[in-house]
Amino acid sequence: MTDDGRVVRGESLGGVKSAERTYTILEYLADAKEASFASLVRDLGLPNSSGHQLLQTAVNRGYVEFDEARRTFRLGYRLWEVAQSYRPAHDIVTVAQRLMDELRDVTKETVQLARLDGLDTHYLAIAESPHPMKLVSHVGARLAAHATALGKALLAELPEQELDRRLRGATLARFTDRTITDRLRLEAELHRIRAKRLAEDNEEYIVGCRCVAMPVRARGGMAVAVSVSVPVARYNRDVARVIRTELARCVHAIERGAESMLALDMPGPVAS
């Protein structure tokens, strides 16, 4: 893990080394936006010969582009084309976006949908607040799950054995003086969240930002959660009460929509 809390993925046990290295290069470029050959092989600990061969293959296939003038690499257009074929289970984003927009219109605050990837919160959809002062984020962003309401809501939904597997040996990075960095404290917090089905971030990732999140429990769908983020200057007891009520309404509507889509996808009876 880097000093800013970003997880750098290494080679997994049992993986094909060249494939692992290729995926690591793509993930690195997704974070860095662009990088020189020297910085890329240095930061990833790649041999020059292997790094050159992997990058050349990726460039030839269009997954990475090379800027001759700047002598840097960046993600290629082919990667975007392939990504367009990805659809979350039962297309939960399509179900959720309209309802998130409605929640944003009622609360006037930023609404986000995310899934869990390891110990990262991966953002899938956003409905942005109309206020000039607001949380600024983007689809595809990844934040440390233990420091966000969305992440904690999702971690709390994991079976105990899976949660233990993910947390074992993990370092919980500190982002503010309110970040939970102790595993026992985090597990106690997740236990409370699981019972209430409501997670909160009290300036644990960003000073000046509060966040409330709920998991979406849809049968057979992708495990996701929805949050509302509010600057501390606009957050009070009345605002919190409205947000919790409207967030619950939004989450339940997403669950109903996901269930309906699942029913439409189910095969009908076979005529004999």
Q: Is the pLDDT of residue 249 over 90?
A: yes
Q: Tell me the pLDDT band of 86, cut-offs 50, 70 and 90.
A: low
pLDDT given for residue 101 in this prediction: 95
CB atoms < 10 A from the CB of 163, how many?
Answer: 16
Structural domain spans, the chain? 17-83, 89-265
Report how far Cα 46 is from the mean position of its chain's Cα atoms.
Answer: 27
Largest CA distance in the chain: 67
Most confident of the ranges 72-81, 217-226, 247-256? 247-256
Q: Mind listing the pLDDT tens digit for each residue in 137-169?
A: 788 888 999 999 999 999 999 999 999 999 998
Q: Tell me the pLDDT band of 4, cut-offs 50, 70 and 90.
A: very low
CATH number attached to the domain at 89-265: 3.30.450.40
Rounded Cα gap, residues 94 and 150, in angstroms = 19
- Rg (alpha carbons) of the chain, rounded to whole number: 21
pLDDT given for residue 221 in this prediction: 58
Q: Tell me the pLDDT band of 182, cut-offs 50, 70 and 90.
A: very high
Beta strands in 108-263 (DSSP E): 110-117, 120-127, 142-144, 199-202, 209-216, 224-231
Q: Which CATH number does the domain 17-83 belong to among 1.10.10.10, 1.20.1250.20, 3.30.70.3270, 3.40.50.2000?
A: 1.10.10.10
Locate 157 and state its tokens.
Answer: 């939904």
Q: Mind listing the pLDDT tens digit for each residue in 231-245?
A: 999 999 999 999 999
Q: Tell me the pLDDT band of 87, cut-offs 50, 70 and 90.
A: low
pLDDT given for residue 225 in this prediction: 95
Measure Cα distances from 156 to 109, 191, 264 in Å. 24, 7, 30
